[in-house]
Each structure stands twice: as structure tokens, then as C-alpha cells.
A and B are shown apart, each in its own frame.
Chain A
Amino acid sequence: MAKVTREMVERAGIDVDQLLELLVKNAAAELTTYYYYTILRANLTGLDGETIKEIAEVARVEDRNHFEALMPRIYELGGKLPADMKEFHDMSACPPASLPQNPTAEDILKVLVEAERCAVRGYTQICNMTAGKDHRTYDLALAILNEEIEHESWFSEFLGEGPSGHFMRRGETSPFVSKFLK
């Protein structure tokens, strides 16, 4: 634990235990999403599925990166990840992004976009809590939020909800979060 770090955040008026619970829940959401997206991606088959497989893969890899980026902040603030993986899964901030039965590509897209929307809500909440008070957590949550918003936009666009204004990643993944992974 980084004692002074935690003290600074507490002095700024943040309930650190509550913040840690949120960070752990969102870390759980990221890692479980990485798992569920693996299954969703594998089932994106055929002409429609193959069209979105690449972009689903980028979201999958970036969600894993989000887990990796969150983990050190949890320990810095004096928190920890649960020892029990099932407990970790069940405390996720978002419901499981499970594969629908006999899914079409559109069915899978709806699962993907709902998972991203849950993440956007979660990181917006963390940003709101930490803005101007816990600069490092805010910076991290904002970086993740930027990527989650792009994921939502990609899937939303494929669902015909309107243009996202985005193009697929060029080069490396996690353009916003990568600074926390070095």
C-alpha cells in the first residue's frame, strides 16, 4: 500500500474503502468481460460475424488491458483482489456478457453494446467521484472511459444506431490506457 497516497485521497474527502470496492467490481467486470468476449468473438461467424470479429477482438484485448491497469491502483490504495475467482466473478460491476442461444451477429452485437454501456456508466461514476480529489484514479478511470466510449460507439454503429465517426484502431491497442501499462 502507498500510505501517503491513500492519506491524500482520504483527506480530499473520498471514502477510500467505497472507492476500492468500486475499483475491484470494475476490475472484475473487465476480466470477466475479457472471458465472455472470447466466447462471443468465437461465435462471430459467417459473413455478418466475420465483419465485426476484428473489432470485437480489439474490445476484448482492451478490456483485459483495463483489468491490468486497474490492479496496481487497487493495491496502491490498500485494497486487494479476492483470492476466490468465483467470488470475483460474482461481484462484477456489470452482468455477465453471456452468449445468447442460437445467436445471430446482431444478437451478439446487442450483448457487446450493453456490456460497453455498463462500463461507460461505471467509469463515469468513478470519474465523478474522484474528479479534483484523487488525481491518479481519475486519470486512470478517464483513460479507460475514453476506450469504453469508443467500444460502445463501434458496436452502436454496427447496430445501425448512427455513425460513430470512428475508424478501427491503427497499430497498437489501448491508445488511452497504454501509459498505465508501461
Chain B
Amino acid sequence: MRYFSLEELRNYDGVDGKPAYIGYKGAVYDVSGSFLWSNGKHQALHRAGFDLTEELKSAPHGEEFIMRFPVVGRLSDK
């Protein structure tokens, strides 16, 4: 299992063809293939490359929408 620091996660912002990864509850999910994450942006409000654990609390959907994406690693504590 690969570990990502928050700083490393920022590199996976989905911009210019880069993969779009998001952090959620310690796991890192690959959302690159999602229509709703085109160019690393979701609904004008959320960006790939970040830990979205807090942001999901105010989203109009639950974590099941994140957990359907493939896990590519874990967030490290460092």
C-alpha cells in the first residue's frame, strides 16, 4: 500500500491530464475516471489533491459516493 503525505496528494489534482486523487478518512481514492471530477473539480466546490473528509460533511450525498472509487493508498500522518 502506498502512503501519501498531504503535500504529495496535492500533486494529484486532476489538472492537465494528471490523475485526480482525493483523501477521505485516511484512504486515498482515485476519482480520475469520474465524469463528475473532470479536470479535478467536483460541482464547482471541491478540488482533487486534498483531504475532503471535512468537506463531505456538508455535501448533499454520503460517503458511499466516495467509497465506490478505487483506493490507491493511505494518507500518512507525516
Give the interface SS of chain A, mostly helix, strand, loop or mixed.
helix
Instruction: Tell whether A22 is near chain B: CB-to-CB under 8 Å.
Output: yes
A18 and B44 contacting across the interface, CB-CB below 8 Å:
yes
Contact A22 B43 (CB under 8 A): yes
Chain A residues in the interface with B (C-beta under 8 A): 18, 21-22, 25, 90-96, 120-122, 124-125, 128
Given contacts A91-B38, A95-B35, A95-B36, contact A22 B45 (CB under 8 A): yes
- Give a binary string over B37-78; 1 marks a CB under 8 Å from any A CB, 0 the rest: 010000111000000000000111100000000000000000
Number of A-B contacts (CB under 8 A): 29
Q: List A contacts of B45 (CB < 8 A).
A: 18, 22, 125
Chain A residue, CB-CB nearest to B36: A95
Residues on the A chain within 8 Å of B38, using CB: 90-91
Mostly helix, strand, loop or mixed at chain B's interface?
loop
Contacts A18-B45, A22-B45, A25-B44 given; indicate if A125 touches B60 (C-beta within 8 A): yes
Asked whether A122 and B60 contact (CB < 8 A) given A91-B38, A95-B35, A96-B35, the answer is: yes
Could you list some 22 contacts between A and B, CB below 8 A?
A18-B44, A18-B45, A22-B44, A22-B45, A25-B44, A90-B38, A92-B35, A93-B36, A93-B43, A94-B36, A95-B35, A95-B36, A96-B35, A120-B60, A121-B60, A121-B61, A122-B43, A124-B60, A125-B43, A125-B59, A125-B60, A128-B58
Query: Which residue of A is nearest B58, CB measured?
Result: A128
From B38, B44, B58, residue with most partner A Cβ within 10 Å: B44
